[in-house]
Amino acid sequence: MRARVARAGGRAARVAVLWLAVAAPLEAQRTGPTNTGRADRVFVNGRVFTGDPGKPLVEALAVRGNTLLDVGSSSAIRRLAGKGTDVVDLRGRFVAPGFIDAHAHLVGGGLSLEELRLDDAPDLAAVSQRIAAWAKAHPEASWVTGEGWSYAAFPDGLPIRAQLDALVPDRPAYLSSYDGHTGWANSAALRLAELTRETKDPPGGTIVRDARGEPTGVLKETSAQELVERLVPKRLPHEIERALRRGIEQAAAWGLTGVQQAGISEDDLAGLARALEATPRLRVYAALHMERNPTPEALTRQDALRRRYASPRLRIGAVKGFLDGVVEARTAAMFEPYPGGGSGLPRFTQDELDRAVAAYDKAGWQVMLHAIGDRAIDMALTAFERAARANGTSGRRHRVEHIEVPRTADLARFKALGVVASTQAMFPYPNANHLTAYVPALGPERARRALAFKAIDDAGAVQAFGSDWPVFTAEVVRGIAVAVTRTTVEGTPAGGWEPAQRLSVEAALRHFTRDAAFAEHAEQERGVLAKGRLADLVVLSQDLLRLAPERIKDTKVLLTVLGGQDSYRAREF
Ligand SMILES: [Zn+2]
């Protein structure tokens, strides 16, 4: 998430092998001499956006095993069908390469499908109503927990514990903000945590206090949130696995064939592997948590995990670290102060970061760094630059995650250094929170260069789109709609927020397919519909390329195909 820090397991030793040497063969090809030239399945009479610049639009696809046998005209593809070939008549439907989400959190996303969610609750009344309803429906829960509240829902931009005490007087309650960077506890939770006016702020965190010095119940950033979060009963492994299975099914229903998991613990990784075995409807590329000080022992341990999880459904190739916080909480690290003071503190010194990144780079890892403020983004790029120089490496495709407020001059460094720009299509969603908390926290000059997707493209960077689910929904058509219109579903503000940064539909599609595949070293197998690539594709209810932009959001996923097999099929298809 934009938030939610990495609890990494440290230790373990040595390393060596380069990423490419351990990269899993993506899928064994099931072609054989018994079916020469014949397709198992053909899709005809469609409008197929291939993502292949040489052949951008075709009508039909032929599949054998898990692979595309060919793409082309309906008549040519029909000739590849034989007895027993499954012929799917697309009746003019739009087809795209299977969507790939370059930054999501499947555990949190899966859990969000069953938890108390406060997303889109516009004000205190709506927030209160949802909390009260959930508490009433779950009398057995020893804690009331949930997440998703936005700063704009509260008159002062932050909640207070009295508001939560009124709703949950009888047991501890703890609710995370939608970006995960701020927690809201009631008095019972503070008592349990023995958190009083005497408690000092932990390093990097803030216990918000009222005029009399009493904690208000708001805890900013991980170290402060942990004071209460550590007391919340942990999910049991089978609960995590169940949530993951739901999350995988939901992802397939949104047209996703691939998800890049932005940081995962070792325990959750085992659960994810089991969930993908039971629900084989998604390909996952996972990042482990980046160690602050990657000792040889830690690197060896992480390398062992990289080798253990190397299947067509689950690969590990990256580590993810956090350089800063978020804009709304004024914890994103900036060169210039926020209005009202403070400029956010990076979580590493440049030296510490350089050392950690160089160690991973040398050991063949891709490094993903959460960096939102301009100062953090500069630090990330500098660390990547120095690591490549020190180690004499290239092609690692290190990534900056989020890149919300880059200095314009830093955009050219992405292409020059071969660093992937990993952005989230829904982040410029201009709802009340965005307009009344996010934009004012930046101030006008920075707001103009924030979430500048078009400028990133124009600078020649590879831009991979993700969702940061559950921070925002991972429903890809909604992400495409926001990237193209920069408006809410209601169409506001008219013309879009910072409309110069709107993208074309083709660009948004590319970022969710080919570029996202590139971001996980998989563009030779996926992200484009072409002969020899994996048969991962999605069929949509509307033709995105011929649609008025304001109607994109109404598009339904009709069919998702993973390696030639249906991973989701809508009832109406
Ligand atoms: Zn994230």
Check pLDDT > 90 for residue 316: yes
Q: What separation in Å is there between the alpha carbon of 370 and the centre of ligand 1?
A: 8
Separation between Cα atoms, residue 216 and residue 214, nearest integer Å: 6
Q: What separation in Å is there between the alpha carbon of 444 and the centre of ligand 1?
A: 26
Q: What separation in Å is there between the alpha carbon of 83 and the centre of ligand 1?
A: 48
Separation between Cα atoms, residue 271 and residue 500, nearest integer Å: 43
Q: What separation in Å is there between the alpha carbon of 74 and the centre of ligand 1?
A: 41
Separation between Cα atoms, residue 287 and residue 263, nearest integer Å: 5
Q: What separation in Å is there between the alpha carbon of 540 and the centre of ligand 1?
A: 27
Q: What separation in Å is there between the alpha carbon of 150 and the centre of ligand 1?
A: 17
Helix, strand, or coil here: 569?
A: strand
Separation between Cα atoms, residue 280 and residue 314, nearest integer Å: 10
Single-letter residue type at 372: I
Q: What separation in Å is there between the alpha carbon of 470 and the centre of ligand 1?
A: 9
Q: What separation in Å is there between the alpha carbon of 327 and the centre of ligand 1?
A: 14
The pLDDT of residue 12:
30
Q: Which helix (H) or strand (E) holds 286?
A: strand 283-289
Residues with CB under 5 A from ligand 1 (ion): 1, 262, 468
| pLDDT confidence tier of residue 286, bands split at 50, 70 and 90 | very high
Q: What separation in Å is there between the alpha carbon of 459 and the centre of ligand 1?
A: 24
Q: What separation in Å is there between the alpha carbon of 142 and the centre of ligand 1?
A: 28
Helix, strand, or coil here: 134?
A: helix
Q: What separation in Å is there between the alpha carbon of 490 and the centre of ligand 1?
A: 26
Q: What separation in Å is there between the alpha carbon of 422 and the centre of ligand 1?
A: 10
Q: What separation in Å is there between the alpha carbon of 82 and the centre of ligand 1?
A: 46
Q: What separation in Å is there between the alpha carbon of 373 and the centre of ligand 1?
A: 15
Single-letter residue type at 485: T
pLDDT digits 0-9 by tens, 416-465? 999 999 999 999 999 988 998 899 999 999 999 999 999 999 999 999 99
Which residues face 256 on adjacent strands? Answer: 99
The pLDDT of residue 379:
98
Check pLDDT > 70 for residue 28: no
The pLDDT of residue 234:
87
Q: What separation in Å is there between the alpha carbon of 467 and the centre of ligand 1?
A: 8
Phi and psi torsions of 387, nearest 5°: -65, -45
Q: Report the pLDDT averaged over residues 470-493.
A: 96
Q: What separation in Å is there between the alpha carbon of 182 and the centre of ligand 1?
A: 15
Q: What separation in Å is there between the alpha carbon of 554 and the centre of ligand 1?
A: 26
The pLDDT of residue 1:
54
The pLDDT of residue 36:
54
The pLDDT of residue 180:
87
Q: What separation in Å is there between the alpha carbon of 103 and the centre of ligand 1?
A: 6
Helix, strand, or coil here: 281?
A: coil
Single-letter residue type at 335: F
Nearest to 364 by CA among 13, 23, 19, 14: 19
Q: What separation in Å is there between the alpha carbon of 87 and the centre of ligand 1?
A: 40
Q: What separation in Å is there between the alpha carbon of 300 and the centre of ligand 1?
A: 25
Q: What separation in Å is there between the alpha carbon of 527 and the centre of ligand 1?
A: 22
Q: What separation in Å is there between the alpha carbon of 468 and the centre of ligand 1?
A: 5
Q: What separation in Å is there between the alpha carbon of 457 and the centre of ligand 1?
A: 21
Q: CA 252, 253, 255, 256 torsion: positive or negative?
A: negative
Q: What separation in Å is there between the alpha carbon of 3 and the centre of ligand 1?
A: 6
Q: What separation in Å is there between the alpha carbon of 421 and the centre of ligand 1?
A: 14
Q: What separation in Å is there between the alpha carbon of 399 and the centre of ligand 1?
A: 13
Q: What separation in Å is there between the alpha carbon of 261 and the centre of ligand 1?
A: 8
Which residues face 293 on adjacent strands? Answer: none
Q: Which helix (H) or strand (E) holds 117?
A: strand 116-117
Q: Report the pLDDT averaged over residues 324-337.
A: 94
**E-strand spans in 126-166?**
144-149
Q: What separation in Å is there between the alpha carbon of 472 and the centre of ligand 1?
A: 10
pLDDT digits 0-9 by tens, 73-130? 999 999 999 999 999 999 999 999 999 999 999 999 999 888 899 988 999 999 999 9
Q: Which two tokens stand for residue 292?
A: 């602050």
Beta carbons within 8 Å of 364's beta carbon, 6+ residues apart: 15, 16, 17, 18, 19, 20, 21, 22, 396
| Alpha helical stretches, state H, 230-320 | 237-253, 266-278, 296-308
Q: What separation in Å is there between the alpha carbon of 129 and the centre of ligand 1?
A: 28
Q: What separation in Å is there between the alpha carbon of 231 and the centre of ligand 1?
A: 23
The pLDDT of residue 120:
83
Q: What separation in Å is there between the alpha carbon of 29 and the centre of ligand 1?
A: 33
Q: What separation in Å is there between the alpha carbon of 1 and the centre of ligand 1?
A: 2
Q: What separation in Å is there between the alpha carbon of 105 and the centre of ligand 1?
A: 6
Separation between Cα atoms, residue 152 and residue 325, nearest integer Å: 18
The model carries a pTM of 0.86
3-state secondary structure 21-78: HHCCCCCCCCCCHHHCCCEEEEEECCEEECCCCCCCEECEEEEECCEEEEEECHHHHH
Nearest to 407 by CA among 371, 441, 438: 371
Separation between Cα atoms, residue 555 and residue 481, nearest integer Å: 10
| pLDDT confidence tier of residue 540, bands split at 50, 70 and 90 | very high
Maximal C-alpha separation, the chain: 81
Q: What separation in Å is there between the alpha carbon of 198 and the centre of ligand 1?
A: 33
Of 2-11, 190-199, 506-515, the range with the lowest mean pLDDT is: 2-11
Separation between Cα atoms, residue 359 and residue 294, nearest integer Å: 7
pLDDT digits 0-9 by tens, 139-196? 988 999 999 999 999 988 999 999 999 999 999 999 999 888 899 999 999 999 999 9
